[in-house]
Structure 1
Amino acid sequence: MKNKGVKKIREALGNYIDTLKLEFTQGMILPTVNGVQKEPSKSKPKVDLQTKVAVGHLPSQHTSVGVKIPTCKFNLKDYFMTSPEELYRIFITQELIQAFTHAPAVVEATKGGKFRLLEGNVSGEFLELVSEQRIVMKWRYKSWPTEHYATIKLSFCSKDDGTELQVECKGVPVGEEEQTKSGWQRYYFEGIKQTFGYNVRLF
C-alpha cells in the first residue's frame, strides 16, 4: 500500500511537471516563432516594436560623422597687452601651449592638423589658419558625446597698445555652455596672461 501510494504520487508529480514544461515552453516560443494560429497577430507588433527600438538607436551608434544633439553658441572676448602676431603664435606653438596649460600637448599647426591639450581632455583640428588674424578649429571636451565638435573661431584684433581676442563658439552642447566658457577663461585667457605677463588687471 505504501509503495503503491508513493508510485502514484510520483506519477502525478511527473505529469504535473511535464504539463508545466509544456506550458512554459509554449509561452517562450509563441511570441517569437511565426506560427499559423492566432498568435502571429500578437507577435507581429512585438517585432515592429523591436525594429523601431533598433532604428531609434542607430544615430547614436553611427557616430563617425558626429551626433545630432541640441547645441548653443556664444561669444567671448578678452584683452591682452601684446601684439596680434605674438598672441597668434601662442595658440599654434606646441611649446608655448604646454607652458600656459602646464600640461603635455600635441599640436600640428597646419590646416587639417590635429591637437590634443590638457592630457587629452581637449582635442580638435585646425580648419583655417590666417597668420596674425584668425584661427578656426574643430574643438571638443573629452566628456562631450563621441565625435561631437564645436567650431571655435579666434579673431585677433589690434587695439590701442594690445590685442582684443574675440572668440566665437558654435555647436557647444546644451548644458555645457558654462563649463566651456569658464574653461576658456581659466585655461586660455588667464593661463596666457599669467604665464606670459599679458595682464591688464591686477589680481
Structure 2
Amino acid sequence: MAKWDQRDPRWIVEVRPDGTNVNNWHWVEKNATTWSKNKITELLCGLVIQDDEYFCEITEVTKLEGEATANNRKAKLIFFYEWDIKADWSGKLKSDSTKYKGKLDVPNLSEENDEEDLDVNVSVEDSSNTAYKVKEFMRCEGTKIIQKQLGEYIKCLKEEYSQGIILPTKDNQLGVGEQKTSSGQNLAKQEMNRAINGIQGDIPHDINDIPCKTLKVKEDFICSVEDLYRALTTRELMSAFTNSEVVCETDPPGNFSLYSGFVTGQFLELVPSKKIVQKWRLKSWPEGHYSEVTIELDSNGDTTTMNLTQKNVPEKEFDNTQDGWSRHYWARIKQIFGYGAQLF
C-alpha cells in the first residue's frame, strides 16, 4: 500500500492531447493482417534467384493464410504472427530456353521461429534430370534468399507497422515504435537488396554507370485500340488485371504504382489511344534507377498491335523485366479481359 501522498505513477494522468491510455498501461492491439499480406506478397512476388548458370523466379503467391497483430502492454511491444505461404516458381538454365515450373511453401512463419529456422519446401513438375538440377538450385539458394525476405517482413512489422502504437508521454515525445530509421538501417536495406538481386560491389555513384539494355516487345490483342489504352491507363482496370491496389494519376507527370509498389513510376506523355510514355522501374532495381517506356498502339480493325520500347533496363534485370511484362501485363490483360486468342 502506498504511503500518504506517494502516488502510484501508473494512476497519474499525464498532460496528453488525447487523454487516452495513460502511461501506455492498457493493452492496445493493432491488426496487421492486411498489411502483412501486402508486404509478404511484395517481398516474394517477382523475386529472382540466379547465378551464372541458373535463373529462377517466384511468379505468384498462390496462398497466404494466417494473421498478424502488433500489441502494446505496459509500454512493451508484443507481436503475434502466423502464416502458411504457398507460391509458384519457374526456372531454367541460362544456356537453355526451356523453363520448368514448380511450387514452394513456407508452413511455419511465426514468432516461434527465427529467420534461419523457416522451412522452405520446393518441388518441380517435370521429372527430367535438368529439371531436378534447377529445382535443387532453387531449394538450396532460394531457401536462403526467401528466408532473408521473410526476415525483412518481420523487421518491417516491428519497426514500421508498430509506429504510433506506443503513445508519447510528456517526457518522451516519441514512442518506442516511432523512432526514425537510422542511416545504418537504410544501408542494411541497400546491402540486402543488392545481395538478393545479384548486384555486386558498391552502388554506382553515377546512375549512368549501370550497364543497361533496350527492350522491344510486340504484342497483338483481340480488342479495340481504345479498350487496350483504357486497360493501361485506368485505375480500376489496372487494379483488375494486377489483382492489387493501384495508384494511377494520369495528368502528366502523374505517379503510378502497381503490384503493391513493386512497379512504380510516372506518366510522362499520354496521347489517347495512340501513345503512352512512362518513367518506370521495378523495386528490385538499383536504387534511384528508372527506365523510359514508350508504348505505341496501332488499330487493325478488330485487333490492336502494341509496340513497347523500354530504354535503360539494367542488364542484370533484363530477362526478369522482359518475362515480367509478358506474365504480369500482357498475359493477365488477355486473361482477365478476354483480349487473347480465341480457342475453338
Asked if 1:151 is matched to 2:292, the reply is yes
Of 189, 205, 217, 1:76 maps to: 217
Does the CA contact (< 8 Å) of 2:204 and 2:210 recur in 1? no
Candidates 315, 319, 329, aligned match of 1:188:
329
Match of 1:161 in 2: 302
Q: Which residue of 2 aligns with 1:123?
A: 264
Can you list the C-alpha shifts for 1:109-157, whole angstroms capped at 9, x where unaligned?
Answer: 1110000100110000111000000000010000101110011100010
Given that 2:267 and 2:278 are in contact with CA atoms closer than 8 Å, whether structure 1 keeps it comes out as yes
Greater than 3 Å deviation, 4+ residue runs: none
Say if 1:67 and 1:147, in contact at 8 Å, map to a contact too: no
Residue 99 of structure 1 aligns to a residue whose secondary structure is helix
**Structure 2 partner of 1:94:** 235
Q: Which amino acid aligns with 1:120?
A: G
1:176 is paired with a residue of what secondary structure?
helix
Distance in 2 separating the partners of 1:68 and 1:85: 39
2:234, 2:248 within 8 Å by CA — same for their partners in 1?
yes
Q: Answer 1 or 2: higher relative contact order, Cα 8 Å, separation at least 6.
A: 1
Q: When you count helix as a share of all residues, which structure comes out higher?
A: 1
Q: Provide the TM-score with structure 1 as the length reference.
A: 0.66
SS at match of 1:115: strand
Q: Which has the higher strand share?
A: 2
Distance 2:204 2:335 in 1: 43
Instruction: Please report the TM-score for the alignment, with normalisation by the length of structure 2.
Output: 0.40
Map residues 24-35 of structure 1 onto 2, 5 A cutoff: none
Unaligned runs of 5+ in 2: 1-201
Structure 1 residues 59 and 179: alpha-carbon distance in aligned structure 2, compared to 1, 3 A threshold:
closer
**SS in structure 2 opposite 1:184?**
helix
Deviations along 1:23-50, whole A, 9 cap, x unmatched?
Answer: xxxxxxxxxxxxxxxxxxxxxxxxxxxx
Aligned length: 143
Report % sequence identity: 42
* Aligned-partner Cα distance in 2 for 1:139–1:120: 12
